[in-house]
Amino acid sequence: MLKIVEQRAIALPRDVVWNALIDPEVVKECIRGCRAVDIISGTAFSLLIDGHVGPIAARFVGNIELMDLDPPRSYTMIGAGKANMIGYTWGVARVRLDYGLGGNKSHTRLNCVIEIAQDSKLLKPGSGIMRVTANRLSESYFSRFARLVENREPLAS
């Protein structure tokens, strides 16, 4: 199991950050190579992503479901996906939103712990390629997310 920890300081109130995190359009904009995010239910989405794992180009098809919702404080995201040549990947992301430093309610501290597992015929579980790719994708997602939400109109509460 691969573990990634991400933290971001975002200069917006917690409820605005929460609304962006669960907005399918924001999710689509933040995932590099994401072609579609379709709503299955109020808390479940399907994804279509064109990406790479190391030198291998792949189309990923998967689902995510938001669980244990405690707005605007925390949720758990369960996800699973398959790529034609890569195999299956699944994981859990535990997201927690805290007030900014010193309890500043106009800023948010986003904390996320991600655990990923995979079953691949081409790549050994936990391989260096998977670790580098997962870290790069996580960094890209959260950097894009912070830039997007800080530079756009506040999302409706």
CATH number assigned to the domain comprising residue 108: 3.30.530.20
Report pLDDT for 123: 62
Q: How many domains does the chain have?
A: 1
H or E element at residue 70: strand 56-70
Strands 104-119 and 44-53: unpaired
CA distance 69 to 41: 14
- Which strands form 44-53's sheet, in the order they lie side by side? 2-10, 104-119, 87-100, 74-83, 56-70, 44-53, 34-41
Interhelix angle 14-21/128-150, rounded to 10 degrees, is 130
Assigned domain for 155 exists = no
Among the residue ranges 41-45, 50-54, 142-146, the one predicted with the least confidence is 50-54
The answer to the question of residue 58 being in a domain is yes
Give 2-26 as a DSSP string. EEEEEEEEESS-HHHHHHHHT-HHH
Characterize the bridge pairing of strands 56-70 and 44-53: antiparallel
Q: Is residue 51 part of a domain?
A: yes
Does residue 63 belong to any structural domain of this protein? yes
Beta bridge partners of 119: 88
The pLDDT tens digits of the residues spanning 48-101 come to 999 887 788 889 999 999 999 999 999 999 999 998 777 888 999 999 999 998
CA distances from 137 to 51, 105, 119, 134 (A): 10, 29, 18, 5
In a domain, 6, yes or no: yes
Q: Is residue 156 part of a domain?
A: no
Task: Say whether pLDDT at 104 is over 50.
Answer: yes
Range of the domain at 69: 2-150
